[in-house]
Amino acid sequence: MIPLILKELIKHTKVLASGGNLDVNISDLTNDSREIKSHTLFVAIPGLKTDGHQFIKEAIKKKAVATIIENSSYRSEEYTWVQVPNSRKALADLSAALYGFPSQRLNIIGVTGTNGKTTTTNLIAAILEDAGHLPGLVGTIENRIGKKVLPVSHTTPEAHNLQKLFKLFLSEGADYGVMEVSSHALEMQRVRGTDFDIAVFTNLSQEHLDFHEDMESYLLAKGKLFSSLGCNTQKTRRKFAILNADDPYVQYLAEMTRVPIITYGIEHEADVKAEKIEVSSAGVKFNLKYTDRQIPVKLKLTGLFNVYNSLAAIAVGLVEGISIEGIIASLEKITGIPGRFESINGGNDYTVIVDYSHTPDSLENCLKTAKEFARGRIITVFGCGGERDRTKRPVMGEVAGRYSDLVIVTSDNPRCEDPEAIIDEIIPGLEKGAIAKPYLRITDRREAIFRAVQEALPDDIIIIAGKGHEDYQLIGKQVLPFDDREVAQEALRQAGKWKEK
């Protein structure tokens, strides 16, 4: 990469003052002092828990050539500094500029919403690949370009890592970037400087209220993706907003954007609509109503929520000029997304499903889907994450109790909270929902999964909810290896309920 001179680079963001040598070359930038290498610009960001300004000395010691500051008290003659009104915005602006504004040379599709982002982005990527495109994927499970898989730290990477990723996509020959866009990313400026062409809205329900404080703030954060569409004049292609017509917040988002809107849904009139839906353990069938056509679709993915995810992906494919026949052929090939209603094959008599559902709405969708084809009981193993929205804990307890025949409450990722205290906050809702139904309290997640398998009778369905694809558990400051899918297989084998293929 060709480095930029600092005084040229900072022309791309708002600057209040500066001091020191602005003629230094910049070839990288970061807000993490641990990532500093030669010719790195350090961006000090006042964080939620720590203030990046406190790491300036460490950054300079590691040979950072300059620093971006927000706090004027960190002006110094000992190092080159540039003061800005907002360090997060500066990080995003400077990252896009340093890496050559890569999103302007990609077709960028952003998917936001409480639930369904991962599945929808994966479906979109599959449709594009089958149509001869090369999409780069940015998501919760993985970042991927072709067969090359890259590590993931956030649903949406920090601004500098995101722009670096877009540049990598271009170098690998990609023509699309398909990404999950979290409310955190929108609020914390991680996607500032990203030129979106299509924005997709899945749904909105209670989540992240530890960060956003209330649903109105959460909605406002999501709305930023749609209000920014069409503001960039660097691309000539037409932009679109794709909205879920059945979501109660759809009108608000429609009013937020200035670009053409494509709607999808089941209950209300929409441009892309599903009718005559049949859900089974083998998948879901529906008739796709598009313009004046009725087209049968047969997915290997199951659940009403996957009908919505598929409709969103279909809308994107149509906007991109892909034939409806090609879109449906792509969707009908897909057998599953890791950790999303993923069936653990333990033989015909026992069904174990691992799902990422960690919100009240997603847990309800998961359990209602299982109810659609359950011949026996539903046994649910779940917990709630520590240091996250506490208000959803009793709500999730109530949902689990209402739709399950037996609930085993356990730990999720307790982080630095007391796992027992988290469960204490779940139980009141559980007892409200599980009237006259049994429940167990087993704090150790491994033990809880083993107990669920022991309790299962033929035709029962075990739902292990909350962590999905994750292969770790966060306990205190430790990141411990833990994969619900592997533990479930081990439990099934030990109980003699696993049939080897």
Number of domains in the chain: 3
Residue 125 resides in a domain? yes
pTM exceeding 0.85: yes
DSSP letter assigned to residue 398: H
| Same domain, residue pair 218 and 77 | no
Distance (Å, whole) CA 352 – CA 363: 15
Residue 213 vs residue 370, higher pLDDT: 370
Name the domain boundary from 70, 98, 126.
98
Does residue 499 sit within a domain?
no
pLDDT value for 189: 92
More confident residue, 497 or 123: 123
- Predicted confidence band of residue 308 (pLDDT cuts 50, 70, 90): very high
Alpha-carbon span 240 to 312, nearest angstrom: 12
Q: Which residues contact 447 (CB under 8 A, 6 or more apart)?
A: 410
- Tell me the residue type at 178: V
Is 361 domain-assigned? yes
Q: What is the mean pLDDT of residues 352-370?
A: 96
Last residue of one domain, picked from the residues 333, 360, 393: 333
Please tell me whether residues 221 and 242 are part of one structural domain.
Answer: yes
* Predicted pLDDT at 347: 62
56 in a domain, yes or no?
yes
Identify whether residues 329 and 377 lie together within a single domain: no
Nearest to 188 by CA among 212, 163, 215: 212
User: Do 94 and 119 fall into the same domain?
Assistant: no
**Confidence class for position 276, pLDDT limits 50, 70, 90:** very high
The pLDDT of residue 232 is above 90: no
Determine, yes or no, domain membership for 314: yes
Sign for the pseudo-dihedral over CA of 123, 127, 130, 134 = negative
What CATH number is given to the structural domain containing 326? 3.40.1190.10
Residues 43 and 158 placed together within one structural domain of the fold? no
Where among 302, 333, 364 does a domain terminate? 333
Q: Name every residue whose Cβ is closer than 8 Å to that of residue 49 and which is 6 or more positions away in sequence.
A: none
Q: Which residues span the domain enclosing 348?
A: 342-494
433 or 349: which carries more pLDDT confidence?
Answer: 433
Burial of residue 160 (number of CB atoms within 10 Å: 0-12, 13-18, 19+): buried
Q: Are both 248 and 121 inside the same structural domain? A: yes
Provide the CB-side half-sphere exposure for 490 (13 A, CA): 12
Angle between helices 304-319 and 117-130 (to 10 degrees): 40
Residues 45 and 120 in one domain: no
Find residue 379's DSSP bridge partners.
406, 462
Query: How is 111-154 classified by DSSP, letter by letter?
Result: EESSS-HHHHHHHHHHHHHHTT--EEEE-SS-EEETTEEE--SS
Q: Which pLDDT value is given to residue 208? A: 45
Give residue-wise pLDDT tens across range 32-84.
999 999 999 999 999 878 999 999 999 999 999 999 999 999 999 999 999 99
- Specify the higher pLDDT residue, 207 or 466: 466
Distance CA 337, CA 122 (A): 8
Contact yes or no for 94/68 (Cβ under 8 A): yes
Q: Is 153 inside a domain boundary?
A: yes
* pLDDT for 206: 57
pLDDT of residue 346: 64
User: CATH code at 74?
Assistant: 3.40.1390.10
Q: Are residues 92 and 110 in the same domain?
A: no
Domain shared by 314 and 385, yes or no: no
Same domain, 159 and 192: yes
| CA-closest candidate to residue 468, choices 118, 113, 112 | 118
Whether 376 and 482 share a structural domain:
yes
Asked whether residue 251 is domain-assigned, the answer is yes
Residue 500 lies in a domain: no
Cβ of 93: how many Cβ atoms within 10 Å? 22
| Domain identity same for 355 and 471 | yes
Report pLDDT digits (tens) over 408-429: 999 999 999 999 999 999 999 9
Q: Residue 269 — pLDDT band, cuts 50, 70, 90?
A: very high
Per the structure block, which two tokens stand in for 312? 């969103």
Amino acid at 22: L
